[in-house]
Amino acid sequence: MPDLLRADKDRSSRLFHCSLNIIFAIGMEYVIEDRKEDALIELQESFFARADRILSMEAFLKPSLQLVQAFILMTRYLQRKGLSERCWTVVGMAIRAAQALGLQAENAVESQGQREERIRTWWACVILDR
């Protein structure tokens, strides 16, 4: 059992680092708008590449709320970069993972905070799919 708990903690940590790298890549967009320097663009691409590597390892494991949220962040980045085909693929993966988790359904045992996070994550998927 301790190995299983450690695996879940490691997975959670990887998904956190994935989301963090995507957020850095998205944030770099605003720096690049002001100063279009090759070094900044390379830095942004390295943040995204790191997140992409982490996410590709996690995508085929069991779905989680963190995984869906990482897909949503990646979709935002891909939309901004004009990579529509890849964006639609990631949106589809986010929706399938969200449905597998049952994010669209009420859960009587969740706290108010968990409920809000679930609902907001689900609606982010719905909005991206339109």
DSSP 8-state assignment for residue 110: S
Q: DSSP alpha helices (H): ranges in 35-64?
A: 38-58
Q: Measuring CA to CA, which residue among 23, 68, 70, 30 is closest to residue 47?
A: 23
Whether the predicted pLDDT of 1 surpasses 60: no
Q: In this predicted structure, what is the pLDDT of residue 84?
A: 92
- Six-digit token pair at 69? 């949220």
Mean pLDDT for 30-47 is 86
What is the tally of structural domains in the chain?
1
Model pTM score: 0.86
Note down the domain range covering 7: 2-129
The pair phi, psi for residue 47, each rounded to 5°, is -60, -45
